[in-house]
Amino acid sequence: MDPLAALGLASAVVQFVDFSFKLVKGTAEIYDSAAGVTPHDANLEFVTRKLQELTFNLEVGVGLPQNTDQSRLRALAEECQSLSTKILALLAKTKAKDRSLRASAGAAIRTWRYKEEKKEIETRLERCQSKLAVQLNYLMR
């Protein structure tokens, strides 16, 4: 066998083994959890729900005249609400339907498939949360 072909084959085998290991690990984490999700996703869902509650309760005098700062706060709260809804919908897609190995494996595959999309929304949500904290600190001065 050509040395370059052997190297390519070895690389493919290593990638397959790595992917399989991650899939089995994810399946075990999901199967062992009570919520049917990985521990990271369970924590992300908890934090996102709390942020969603906070931003929902940040109603700034609906119908009353607002200054620029209050308008910014409302816009940030709405953005956080929107991102929270998106990430919760994505987490719902990746949950195991029941507590079986088959459902856990399917959830692990879906978690892997939506990993990048979830990471991107999570990053945007963290930025929005930071901006919201800065705006709240500014208003409370």
- Say if CB 96 and CB 110 are below 8 A apart: no
The whole-chain average pLDDT of the chain stands at 85
Q: What is the CA radius of gyration of the chain?
A: 21
Which of 49, 50, 28, 53 is CA-nearest to residue 39?
28
Among 54-58, 59-63, 117-121, 136-140, which stretch is predicted with the lowest mean pLDDT?
59-63
Looking up tokens 């869902």 gives: 45
Kindly report, residue by residue over 34-64, the tens digit of the pLDDT.
788 888 999 999 999 999 988 887 765 555 5
Distance in angstroms (rounded) separating the CA atoms of residues 5 and 45: 45
Kindly report, residue by residue over 72-88, the tens digit of the pLDDT.
888 888 899 999 999 99
Exposure b/e, 109-124, CB count within 10 A at least 16 = b: ebbeeeeeebeebbeb
- Say if CB 38 and CB 107 are below 8 A apart: no
Q: 6 pLDDT exceeds 80?
A: no
Find the mean pLDDT for residues 21-33.
Answer: 83
Q: 129 pLDDT exceeds 80?
A: yes
Q: 17 pLDDT exceeds 80?
A: yes
Find the mean pLDDT for residues 97-104.
Answer: 87
Q: Report the 10 Å Cβ neighbour count for 80.
A: 24
Find the mean pLDDT for residues 12-17.
Answer: 80
